[in-house]
Amino acid sequence: MDNENLNYEILDKLTKVCICKGIPRSTIKKVIKDGANTLQEFQKATGAESGALG
Protein backbone atom coordinates (compact mmCIF):
# COMPACT_ATOMS: atom_id res chain seq x y z
CA MET A 1 0.00 0.00 0.00
CA ASP A 2 1.41 3.36 -0.94
CA ASN A 3 1.29 6.46 1.24
CA GLU A 4 -1.44 8.14 -0.81
CA ASN A 5 -3.87 5.24 -0.31
CA LEU A 6 -2.91 5.03 3.35
CA ASN A 7 -3.65 8.73 3.79
CA TYR A 8 -7.09 8.31 2.18
CA GLU A 9 -7.87 5.35 4.43
CA ILE A 10 -6.89 7.34 7.50
CA LEU A 11 -8.98 10.33 6.40
CA ASP A 12 -11.94 8.03 5.71
CA LYS A 13 -11.76 6.71 9.26
CA LEU A 14 -11.39 10.15 10.80
CA THR A 15 -13.91 12.10 8.71
CA LYS A 16 -17.33 11.91 10.38
CA VAL A 17 -20.25 12.06 7.99
CA CYS A 18 -22.96 11.67 10.61
CA ILE A 19 -21.99 13.74 13.63
CA CYS A 20 -24.84 12.51 15.88
CA LYS A 21 -23.95 8.85 15.45
CA GLY A 22 -20.24 9.39 14.81
CA ILE A 23 -20.38 7.47 11.53
CA PRO A 24 -17.11 7.81 9.60
CA ARG A 25 -16.81 8.07 5.84
CA SER A 26 -15.20 4.60 5.79
CA THR A 27 -18.41 3.08 7.15
CA ILE A 28 -20.49 4.89 4.54
CA LYS A 29 -18.28 3.49 1.77
CA LYS A 30 -18.46 -0.03 3.23
CA VAL A 31 -22.25 0.00 3.53
CA ILE A 32 -22.57 1.09 -0.10
CA LYS A 33 -20.00 -1.49 -1.22
CA ASP A 34 -21.90 -4.17 0.71
CA GLY A 35 -25.03 -3.39 -1.29
CA ALA A 36 -27.10 -0.67 0.38
CA ASN A 37 -28.94 0.83 -2.59
CA THR A 38 -31.65 2.85 -0.89
CA LEU A 39 -31.80 5.38 1.91
CA GLN A 40 -33.75 2.87 3.99
CA GLU A 41 -31.07 0.19 3.57
CA PHE A 42 -28.42 2.73 4.45
CA GLN A 43 -30.30 3.85 7.56
CA LYS A 44 -30.83 0.26 8.69
CA ALA A 45 -27.14 -0.60 8.26
CA THR A 46 -25.77 2.51 9.96
CA GLY A 47 -28.42 3.92 12.27
CA ALA A 48 -28.06 7.27 10.51
CA GLU A 49 -31.03 9.65 10.56
CA SER A 50 -32.42 8.03 13.69
CA GLY A 51 -31.19 10.70 16.08
CA ALA A 52 -32.35 14.18 16.97
CA LEU A 53 -31.38 15.61 13.59
CA GLY A 54 -32.80 12.74 11.50
Answer whether 21's CB lies under 8 Å from 48's CB.
yes
Percent of the chain with pLDDT over 70: 85
pLDDT at site 21: 84
Answer whether 46's CB lies under 8 Å from 18's CB.
yes
Phi, psi of 22, deg, nearest 5: 65, 35
Q: Given pLDDT bands bounded at 50, 70 and 90, which one contains residue 13? A: confident
Percent of the chain with pLDDT over 90: 31
pLDDT at site 41: 94
pLDDT exceeds cutoff 90 at 37: yes
The CA–CA distances, whole Å, from 32 to 19, 37, 39 equal 19, 7, 10
The secondary structure of residue 54, as a DSSP letter, is -
Q: Is the pTM of this model over 0.75?
A: no
